[in-house]
Amino acid sequence: MDRKSRWNSARVTRRTVAAGIGAAGLAAAIAPFNIVRAAGGPLKVGVLLPRSGLQAGIGQDCQRGADLAPGIFKSMGLPELTLMNGDTESNVDAARARAEKLISDGAQLLVGAFDSGQTTAIAQVAEQKGIPLVINIAAAPPITEQGYKFVFRNFPTAPMILGDAFANQKEVFAAVGAAPKTVVFMHVNDTYGTAIAKGIGAVMPKFDMPYTIVEEIPYDPAAHDLSVEVAKAKATNADALLVSSRLNDAMLLTRELVKQRWTPQAILSMGPGWYEDQYIKTLGKLADGPISFVPWYDPHKKLSGVLEAALAKADPGVSLNTNHVFTFEALLVAADAYKRAGSTDPTALADAIRSTNITDNVSIGPGIQFNAKGQNDKVKDGAIQNRNGKLAILAPKDAANAKPEWPLPSYQSRG
Amino acid sequence: MIARLRAGPASRRAIPLAILLAAFVFAPFFVNDYLLTVLILILYFAYAGQAWNIMMGFAGQLSLGHALYVGLGSYVAATLFTHFGIGPWLGLLVAIPIAAACGAVIGYLAFRFGVAGVYFAILTIAFAEFARIGFDHLDYVNASSGLFLPVKQYAHNDLWLLRGDPTMFYYVILAATVFAFVLCRQLLHSRIGYFWLAIREDEPAARAAGINTFRYKMYAVMVSAAVTSFAGVFYAFFYNNLFPEQVFSISRSIEIILGPIIGGIGTLFGPILGAFVLTGLAETLNAVMGAFGLDLPGAKQVFYGVCLLLVVLALPDGVWPPLARRLGLSEGKQ
């Protein structure tokens, strides 16, 4: 019998029994210390965010949510986390390298990374190394369609975001007893705006919306003047303005609406820009009125108040938003899993995350649970309206804290 | 034999080159996965920089839109793989002529109508931007929502389909970099290479000497585009996701050209040294900052800027030429 076949045979000898008992004894002797060490120390979490490069502003905003987490978790009796920050530089190459670096430095769980491309690169590393990745923000559906075992996402996918936006619009229309019959759709012609435009075409027919889109007007993200586009939109005589924009163009559009004396019945925004702090601070009274449909927080949840207060203390003047909420919640998932797993072992952590059931959370919806693909399919979007420099939540009903103001007050009457 | 090896600079260059190659070949046995990823990045930028160097370093045609060929290579191979199950090596056979044809169109438009210098550079940027916007609207490749390659856990490396662990990708990009180096060396020392150098140094004089400058500039653009397309194929299968905004972006074009600029435009070792300096030292900087507990996002970009500034001010020919002279490894005037 050669060596290989001897190994393959199931023959038990005195020597193998002795070796087995020895190994078992050694394992038993070491194991308790391992468990004590694992359960006692803080969980090392690698937080990967684009804190420099094109997405630096958003990445730094997400970081605020991460920085608030350890203090709040302490007051909640959750285990301690050690945050290991990594900058993805808004770049796929750097995202992958940073993930490898954090893991080699001892990260036991990863959180990140705002952008779908960067998150996909990190997900591959996490899966290869068997280190759980909890995605804070990234909406591309394929990330959780790859059959990964260590990747979890507590953020709606792009189709979920659009579906909720239309559902919330209908809820708002029902609450005010009015709805636009026609809308003109203006969108920034970048990756995000184009994706929303295409998504609207695919998703809207399923929702039997009361309005039709009379014209679609794309514009350049770097445009410094949108007078022609707004004039074109005004000329359609549409009841409302449906927009998908960024911050700068949202401000340009508003100024142009004022200049051209056009106040549509409503401004319905499918994305960032219109609810952001800078928009509200820069435009003052002119910022009031637009309704945005975005993943948001439920103001009735206890933890939302705690997070809002902590943010106000740490960064006065910064309003709680999607970036803070979902980065904080990703860390909440990590801390909760660590508490239940009682170990920093990545497989045990992944198993614990899989059975997550957090109802004391921040975002809209029944709580945080993951389906077989690692996706939280219960997380919901909200409809928020700018009111006197603050944000009121109009829908869904369970999360609402105000009735919609409808129609949009005339820009000319705002003084 | 040793005496012969010591005889001239060319032979003397062979020894450090062999040591460098051996170090690269055995590196995966000694480094962890993070360092392996950094080495992959270094080789990737060395390869892409070498490809760009053919056009700018050898033929003197400044391209600031090389991301176009990376993007075309990546999208062609990824599309063939996701839609038809065609592997990346066969995909590369399709990507190369497409990239070369695209380069030919740009070259023809520019050289036929006398668009040169900075205007040619702008033209290359324009084409990369056309491609980015076009792919942002091309539903067949999932437009701006991104094209995702299926990812599985593979029990073993599949070189034919480029599916496997980072070590396999490391050896693939190492082989490609060696290939690009040898190709560039052969080109540079061939008739076509001398014609390119003549065009780079003084195009009217080259034309007066009987060189068909239009034809040889076209060759430079097409060869450079074709070689660059493999960088795209590698990118697609290593990262498994493609977004037009990422692969066709001007920042990717700039990343490609920084290596050769820092290392030395028109030299064979310049792109490799430049990639080392930029990626290697930037990662070292991050590691040192991490060791001191400093968390300074953007420090790498500042480091890139400082490197460029220093090179422009102190070493206008790049790091390699003076270093080579000091080490007695000078390639001579190219």
Chunk chain B into consecutive blocks of 10 residues (it has 334) and report each block's average pLDDT, rounded to whole numbers: 48 80 93 92 96 95 95 97 94 97 96 91 95 89 86 78 92 97 94 95 94 95 97 94 90 92 92 91 83 81 84 87 84 52
Are A179 and A211 a contacting pair, CB within 8 Å? yes
Instruction: Let me know if A30 is exposed, middle or buried by CB neighbors in 10 A (0-12, 13-18, 19+).
Output: exposed
**Which phi and psi angles does B98 have, rounded to 5°?**
-65, -45
Q: A23 preceded by cis ω (within 30°)?
A: no
Distances (CA, A) of B330 to A365, B57, B189, B317: 67, 16, 15, 13
Residue A327 · residue A111 · CB < 8 Å: yes
Q: Compute the nearest-CA separation of B297 from chain A (Å).
A: 6
How, if at all, do strands A390-395 and A381-387 pair? antiparallel
Distance of CA B81 to the CA centre of its chain: 23
Topology of domain A159-296+382-414 in CATH is Rossmann fold (3.40.50)
The tokens for A9 are 């045979």
Q: Which residues of A touch B243 (CB under 8 A)?
A: 116-117, 191
pLDDT at A14 over 60: no
Query: In which order are the strands placed within the sheet that holds A109-112?
Result: A81-87, A43-49, A109-112, A133-135, A151-153
pLDDT of residue A180: 96
Helix (H, G, I), strand (E, B) or coil at A213: strand
CA distances from A235 to A228, A232, A390 (A): 11, 5, 32
Query: φ, ψ for residue B61 (rounded to 5)?
Result: -105, 110
Identify the pLDDT of residue B284.
Answer: 85
Q: What is the dihedral of CA A95, A96, A99, A104, to 10 degrees?
A: -140
Contacts by residues A398-406 (CB-CB < 8 Å, ≥ 24 positions apart): A398/A298, A398/A300, A398/A364, A399/A296, A399/A298, A399/A299, A399/A300, A399/A364, A401/A299, A401/A300, A403/A175, A403/A176, A404/A172, A404/A175, A404/A176, A404/A291, A405/A289, A406/A172, A406/A176, A406/A178, A406/A265, A406/A266
Between chains, do B144 and A191 touch, taking CB under 8 Å as contact? yes
pLDDT, chain A, mean:
87
Residues of A with Cβ-Cβ distance to B46 under 8 angstroms = none
DSSP single-letter state for residue B56 = I
The radius of gyration of chain A from alpha carbons, rounded to an integer in Å, stands at 25
**The domain A40-157+299-380: what is its CATH number?**
3.40.50.2300
**What residue type is B285 in one-letter code?**
L
Q: Write out pLDDT tens, residues A108-119.
A: 999 988 888 899
* ipTM of this complex: 0.83
- Measure Cα distances from B38 to B87, B166, B254 in Å: 26, 11, 19
Query: Both tokens of residue A278?
Result: 């800078």
- Per-residue pLDDT tens over the stretch A292-315: 999 999 999 999 999 999 999 999
Examine the pLDDT at A337 and tell me if it is beyond 80. Answer: yes
Neighboring chain B residues of A127 at a CB cutoff of 8 Å: 151, 153
Residue A263 near residue A408, CB atoms below 8 Å? yes
Q: Please name the amino acid found at residue B68.
A: L
E strand or H helix that includes residue B87? none
B118 contact partners, CB below 8 Å, separation of at least 6: B62
- From CA A402, how far away is CA A395, in angstroms rounded? 9
Environment class of residue A57 by beta-carbon count within 10 Å: exposed (0-12), middle (13-18) or buried (19+)? middle
Q: How far apart are CA A282 and CA A335, in angstroms?
A: 38
CB contact under 8 A, A104 and B33: yes
**What residue of B is the nearest CA neighbor of A149?**
B153
Average pLDDT over residues A52-79: 91
What is the model's pTM? 0.84
pLDDT tens-digit readout, A149-203: 999 999 998 889 999 999 999 999 999 999 999 999 999 887 678 778 888 888 8
Which of B133, B152, B153 best probes binding to A when mutated, by most A CB atoms within 10 angstroms?
B153
Strands A182-188 and A240-244: parallel
**Which tokens go with A272?**
């960032």
Hey, is A235 helix, strand or coil? helix
pLDDT score at B151: 78
Whether pLDDT at A10 is above 80: no
Q: Which two tokens stand for residue A256?
A: 């142009």
Q: Which of A87, A120, A192 sits opposite B240 (nearest CB)?
A: A120
Residues near B35 by Cβ (< 8 Å), separated by ≥ 6?
A: B27
Mean pLDDT (whole number) for A313-339: 94
C-alpha pair distances (Å), B239 with each of A121, A202, A288, A307: 6, 28, 43, 35
* Angstrom distance (rounded) from CA A116 to CA A122: 10
Check B297 against A52: CB less than 8 A apart: yes
- Per CB-CB distance under 8 Å, the chain A contacts of B239 are 92-93, 96, 117, 120-121, 124
Query: How confident is the model at residue A38, as a pLDDT?
Result: 44
CB < 8 Å to B286, chain A? 101
A73, two tokens: 């978790």
Identity at A307, one-letter amino acid code: L
Indicate whether A2 pLDDT > 80. Answer: no
Tell which residue, A54, A58, A39, has the closest CA to residue A112.
A58
C-alpha–C-alpha distance, residues B219 and B229, integer Å? 15
Helix axes B281-291, A92-104, angle to 10 degrees: 40
A158 with B145: Cβ contact below 8 A: yes
Query: Do B283 and A194 lie within an 8 Å CB cutoff?
Result: no
Distance CA A147, CA A331 (A): 23
